[in-house]
A and B are shown apart, each in its own frame.
Chain A
Amino acid sequence: MSMKKTIVSFTIAILILFIFGSFTGCRSDNVLNPKDPVILTVWHNYGGQMKNTMDEMIDEFNETVGAEKGIILSVTSISGSATLHEKLTMAANQDPGAPELPDITTAYPKTALILANNGLLADIGMQFTDEELLAYVSRFLEEGKIKDDKLYVFPTAKSTEVLFVNKTIFNRFAQENNIGFEELGTFEGINRLAAKYYEWTDKQTPEIKSDGKMFFMPDSLFNLTMVGYQQLGDDFLKDDRLNLASPVFSKVWDCFYEPAVRGHAAIFDGYSSDLAKTGDIICALGSTAGVLFYSPTVTYENNITEPVEYVILPYPVFEGGKKIAIQRGSGMCVIKSTKEKEYAAGIFLKWFTQPEQNLRFVSCTGYLPVTKEAYGGMMTKEIETVSDQNIKELLKTAIEMQQEYDFCIPPLFNDFDRLQREYETEFKKVASKSRDEYLKVLGYNANEAFNRVAITHEQARLILQD
């Protein structure tokens, strides 16, 4: 009799619990409810042409995996990476007028570090098993472990730097001057070509002297220096300070200063793609993430347009140096909130970086794939289906670089931003000043003019020293 009673009361207890559970609609931590979906706000910097792809992919997720599991993604901000950095920093510091942090955001490691230092980020590694993590390119994961060996930045959009060459215009130039693409493999070669190009374009307008066009521009002088040092066997940053004393410095300095002063290379505060759009340069050293900025049309001064094709080459190497390029790119960070939001974010990230989705994203943006599988056989097969010619080119070059190059990850420390900013500003300022002086004294002899205005390596070191 008493046994029966126990069974009965036990059943009742369970029933009551079950019913109350369905009442409060409470979910246990890792269970999402498709009838009551979790809404995750997303910020990203994939604007412009990438926006469509991103929108489509997010919609697809919402309709498939999201609807199934009870997750809805809502994009509430699309901005450039610099703006995004500022927004996130403001929000992290809780500045007045700062927006509220989203649940998922793309971010560069330096931005993520600020968020992580404020304890705002969730460890994404917790949402993946070890086996799942093995599928990703390990150095990408390494770069994402920015603090305490926790994966705070999940790799979704990696990039490196490559050489964008306006093939149409370059061919015109090359054919008339018997030049091949090989010269573009080294920095010194590029400079040589730049000089020739200047002369060639100058001759196009014989009535105007010294109006030769600029040949190339590196988007980031700092990166060029940092990678250049590595290629030549030294480190640009020692003890969080610029290692300007190194003998390597002169090579790097020469690679930009002289061409800039002579007008072969562009000194410009904006993106090199802006200059490429107007045909002011035909060769740009920039991030793979900028591939979509090189439009298939060049617009000249008088609104004359010309359809052009680009060829994308691996990052140049200093003569005698090792093949090293930079590894950059942002990833996605998950802001710490509730366990179910973090779990839902993990599901999205897994889906987003699965080789199929990853390749789709990559083929429309120019970012690099993040899984080993994607770099493998799958990549070469899928490339043929990519519609954008530039991106096709880019991916082929990316595979080549993946196999042949070593990669250098920029270090993360608090002063890095400032050092980078000041270095580039000073470098450009000095070059600009020299250029102005050069133009003033430019007579018939360019070399003479240059020698008069050029500063020495030592002077340069002093100016650039922090």
Chain B
Amino acid sequence: MPAINKLSQIKQQIKNAGTLGLSMKRRLFLFLVVLVLTMVLGVIIILLLTGTLTTGLDAEEQLLKRELNRTSRNVREQYGQLSVQTVEFSKELSVRIEKRLVEKNLEVTDIQYYPEVLEDLIAGEYERALFSLQKSKSSGVFIVLDATVNAKLENAQTSRVGLYIKNMEPNILSSFSPTVTLLRGFPSIGRNFSVPLHTQWRMEFDISDAPYYRLPMEKAVKQTLPISKLYYWSHPITLPGTSEEVMLCSVPLVDSQGNVFGVCGFEISSMLFKLTHMPDNSTYSRIFSMLAPVSRDSFVTSEAMFSGGYSARNVLLNNQLYCTKEDHRSLYRYQEEGGSSFVGFHLPVELYPKESAFLEQKWAVALLIPEEDIKNKLATFNLRLSLMFALLMMIGILISYFLSRRYIKPISKGLDILKSNDFTEAPKTKIPEIDDLIEFFSLRNEELQNSDEKEQSSEVLNDFVRNARTLSPAERSVFNLYAQQYTAKEIAAKLCLSINTIKTHTRRIYNKLNISSREELLVYIDMLKEAGKEFK
């Protein structure tokens, strides 16, 4: 209800404003508001023109680009270094194994026929492998030989002997307790070197679905490339029985005769990748970097490595992420089919040298943020900006309101004083124009009062003279004598009339002349004398 009343009040005020004109206060207020609005709009326009408003987004883009460059560099470095070390490891290992076999009068092609030498052979390489592992700062080292311990077993075709040492904490210099475990290999190695067996330990490698084993060896056989061009980076895989995705860099083991007898290499686990390439998430908490194979024009996210504050894997439902470029913005947009969309940048990264056998494998590093996060940030930014301007305007309006009130107040007071007609006690308004006006009016008022009085008194006098003409002769004579300041007794004596008679006459004279005392009469006579209106 009070709202309705207020509304009708306002309506009334607006109507009044239409007919009567706006009050001073309202006028001033509106003028000030217009001024404030103009200034604020002006500021906004200036900001827009000089581009200050839009740099928010630009700064973000710069940030992302820089971060991407950094990540891309790091990835290239890490993968590059590891590739180099894998090649070195392979060369060294090939030489050593060949030598040890030669000592036993064997060749590398014989190992599958002499399974009993395998255990010693591999155990002999343990320390070297462990050392290389620690030097490479990777999360695992492996050696797979093209042989198996027990050829009579059912799965002997897909079982290969070897060694796999995993380092759980590659980026910690651990002095006391070993962080390595044996994922594959002879248990005796574990016992002899005090290495615990991994929870998912098996003795041999299951190569039924192992491109990291098959491909380098195939390429080595087919082509005559040097080892350095034959290293292969597997797509992220989960080794059978394990629960973590890893990328393996594997290089074929080739002896001096060119016989290929196995592979070896290093591992980058998802955890290692995550810890090494964590992007700066101070602005966007859901930012993540991704190393993914590129197929045609999309990223194959099911075979990518991620690094981010939280599991990006849950954000991606599908296997493919398409990249589109928007024209009006320089951030790229990445879209899943029927899934989430992201914005960010990407750069292709070369994992392989020019003449590599695996050059057709394309990879890229991308830095992505879920689209809604950017939108939210933008919205928040815009909201803040608009709130700021709204606040500015409101403050402006309020100041206008108070200023107009304060300005008008003394003027209203002055007007009230003028209206009140009470000039004697009027306080000074301290506004020269108004005080002047008050002064002027008070003088006029006095003058008016005086002329009023004068008007009044001549009126009265006229009345008196008129009335005096109505006196009877007898009364007249009494009146004349009164006018000459005779007392009643004297008049009685002079006219030879009784006092009663005189009293009667006097009463009648008073009635006719509308007076009530002798003094009044005398006053009137005086007035007449002054006005020059003597009469007899």
Contacts and interface: CB of A to CB of B under 8 A. Distances in A.
Interface residues of B, number: 48
Interface stretch (A16-24, A164-172, A181-189, A201-209): A16-24
B358 interface: no
B271 A78 contact: yes
B190 A270 contact: yes
A303 B244 CA distance: 24
B203 A36 contact: no
B502 interface: no
Interface string A46-77: 01110110010011001100000000111011
Interface residues of A, number: 53
B201 A83 contact: no
B196 interface: yes
Given A62-B314, A76-B274, A270-B190, 16 more contacts: A37-B285, A39-B281, A39-B285, A51-B244, A59-B314, A62-B311, A72-B309, A73-B310, A80-B179, A83-B174, A86-B176, A97-B172, A299-B202, A302-B150, A303-B159, A304-B153
Nearest to B202: A299
A466 B275 CA distance: 43
Given A35-B376, A299-B203, A80 B384 contact: no
A277 B197 contact: yes
Interface in B267-324: 271, 274-275, 281, 285-286, 309-311, 313-314
Return the 9 tightest CB-CB contacts between A and B, nearest first: A48-B199, A82-B177, A303-B150, A303-B149, A274-B197, A72-B310, A52-B243, A302-B150, A278-B187
A215 B314 CA distance: 47
A456 to B, nearest CB: 31
Interface in A75-96: 76-80, 82-83, 85-87
A331 B159 CA distance: 40
B243 A48 contact: yes
A90 B284 CA distance: 31
Interface in B157-204: 159, 168-169, 172-177, 179, 187, 190-191, 194, 196-204
9 contacts: A35-B376, A51-B243, A72-B310, A74-B310, A79-B169, A85-B177, A86-B176, A277-B187, A299-B203
A12 interface: yes
Nearest to A41: B309
A269 interface: yes
B462 interface: no
A79 B177 CA distance: 11
B168 A47 contact: yes
A407 interface: no
B190 A274 contact: yes
A72 B176 CA distance: 33
Contacts of B388: 19, 23
Contacts of A59: 310-311, 313-314
A15 interface: yes
A83 B177 contact: yes
Given A79-B168, A83-B177, A36 B202 contact: no
Contacts of B314: 59, 62-63
Interface in B481-518: none
Contact of A303 (B148, B199, B275): B148
A227 B159 CA distance: 44
B398 interface: yes
Interface in A411-463: none
Interface in A2-25: 8, 12, 15-16, 19, 22-23
A128 interface: no
Interface hub of A23, A37, A48 (most chain B Cβ within 10 A): A48
Interface of A: 8, 12, 15-16, 19, 22-23, 35-37, 39, 47-49, 51-52, 55, 58-59, 62-63, 72-74, 76-80, 82-83, 85-87, 97, 99, 268-271, 273-274, 277-278, 292-293, 295, 297, 299, 302-305
Contacts of B159: 303
B14 interface: no
A52 B245 CA distance: 11
Contacts of A268: 191
A76 B148 CA distance: 37
Contacts of B187: 274, 277-278, 299
B170 to A, nearest CB: 11
Nearest to A278: B187
Nearest to A20: B391
A305 B177 CA distance: 31
Contacts of B194: 269-270
Contacts of B398: 8, 12
A87 B168 CA distance: 12
B387 interface: yes
A302 B243 CA distance: 26
A55 B314 CA distance: 11
B394 interface: yes
B150 A35 contact: no
Contacts of B281: 39
Contacts of A97: 172-173
B470 interface: no
Contacts of A86: 174-177
B285 A72 contact: yes
Contacts of B271: 77-78
Contact of A36 (B285, B391, B394): B285
B380 interface: yes
Nearest to A280: B187
